[in-house]
A and B are shown apart, each in its own frame.
Chain A
């Protein structure tokens, strides 16, 4: 007969200790009668355990039972007594008098003051957290636009997205769908149109207040020549000087930024002339996208920085041209070192 396996040995052990069920007991007895090895193990185990049977269980002394019941009854009595006292004290408690009413009112007022204090602390903190989140979302969007731009350039022999424009074309005509290319945003619109930036909403800064634009489907995007209106693009893009040699991305070249504060108020009717005179306020304002606290700026190396001022060097204001105080909406920088983002 084959040697016993572990399960059979465990069965014998349980049988000797007395832990087997009726069925297991029958199995164990059958095993013992069928296998010499099982019978031997059983007899040895039984012999090892049998001294334990000499212990006679000691019955519980009666007086211990009585003392236990007495302690339980005492505990029950004291619980009842405490309950009665509590009820009595509740019943004899004075009703609210006038002075207590004022006392209660003062407590409510104190609680309200604490509540207001907590609100006063929490609301600005939450507002700050919200602003920070929008700032980071905006940076992420700029990052994805840069990614689309890089892909476009690598697909087009190193050329940036560009449409043919004539000299003096009004770059502020955002949303104009006419045959001639005027708006500065027509260049960048090639990215969503070509599928390089999948979500058109990436061109709307999350920090920009105002009505959110409608969602356009792919065929609608492909039919258009430019963003449908200013609501669909709340960033300002680089306006290149005519002497730009190539469309290559240069590290510290500024590609785009939050909405240029100088060109926030533009005529809706494109047939009207733009005549915008810079003043002290327009020269110092930050973008409206982040509550005038600063603006995210995308550089040619793909990095996005949140700048608290409009200057990327001592003299280069990204939202204005050097030596230009009056804008008609067709100005371009005279050299590559003068960064200018519009509209």
Chain B
């Protein structure tokens, strides 16, 4: 592989690819493959859907290579495409399998104080007793069971470090909604985690 490609910006790589240099596209895929895969793996939690959406995202990039504004950062754009395609894939899968993976939440968003009350209502959460692998399985399950709109925001914020502004653009919602939804997502996770630990202790 041409080592010079690693130094190029995303926009320059796209230009090179449009000019016929196939390796440039491979470099873009390599740059974002792990981030996108991790996002989809956590958001979709179904292997076959993850692979489809991963491929569809890069096919969309290929189709839009001429119209994409090279001055815009590529990463948020790729995550926007991935998030939209993932939601479409989930809905399609739910229609054919008649199973609810985690619906959109319609309930009222929690305020910051509600979150604090949730996370500080009792003492420590003694999950240290659990093996790390077991903890990971439980966390993954809790995230998978969360409503779709809370799940996506928690993943984008905590695991991918997108700013509020970027998340607002990726999800096409106002920044205020992003903030309140992230509060709700964290509160929801803390509550479910406590319930999960509690059930372990009572066993």
Q: Which residues of A contact B (CB under 8 A)?
A: 6, 9-10, 13, 17-19, 40-41, 44-45, 47-49, 51-52, 54-61, 64-65, 67-69, 71-73, 75-76
Q: How far is the CA of A73 from the CA of B163 in the complex (A)?
A: 34
Q: Are A19 and B164 in contact (CB under 8 A)?
A: yes
Chain B contacts of A51 at CB under 8 A? 125, 127, 135, 138-139, 193
Smallest Cβ-Cβ distance to A59: which chain B residue: B34
Chain B contacts of A44 at CB under 8 A? 116, 119-120
Q: How far is the CA of A76 from the CA of B29 in the complex (A)?
A: 16
Chain A contacts of B139 at CB under 8 A? 51-52, 54-55
Interface of A is mostly: helix
Q: Are B161 and A19 in contact (CB under 8 A)?
A: yes
B189 interface residue (CB < 8 Å to A) = yes
For the complex of A and B, the 8 pairs showing the least CB-CB separation, nearest first, are A60-B37, A48-B119, A48-B190, A60-B33, A54-B135, A44-B120, A57-B38, A54-B136
Q: Which residues of B contact A (CB under 8 A)?
A: 22, 25-26, 29-30, 33-34, 36-38, 41-42, 51, 54-55, 58-59, 62-63, 112-113, 115-116, 118-120, 124-125, 127, 132, 135-136, 138-140, 157-159, 161, 163-164, 179, 182-183, 186, 189-190, 193
Q: Are B37 and A59 in contact (CB under 8 A)?
A: yes
Q: Are B22 and A73 in contact (CB under 8 A)?
A: yes
> A55 is contacted by which of B30, B116, B140 (Cβ under 8 Å)?
B140
Q: Are B42 and A72 in contact (CB under 8 A)?
A: no
Q: Are B42 and A64 in contact (CB under 8 A)?
A: no
Q: How far is the CA of A45 from the CA of B158 in the complex (A)?
A: 13
Smallest Cβ-Cβ distance to A58: which chain B residue: B41
> A48 is contacted by which of B63, B161, B186 (Cβ under 8 Å)?
B186
Q: Are B182 and A41 in contact (CB under 8 A)?
A: no
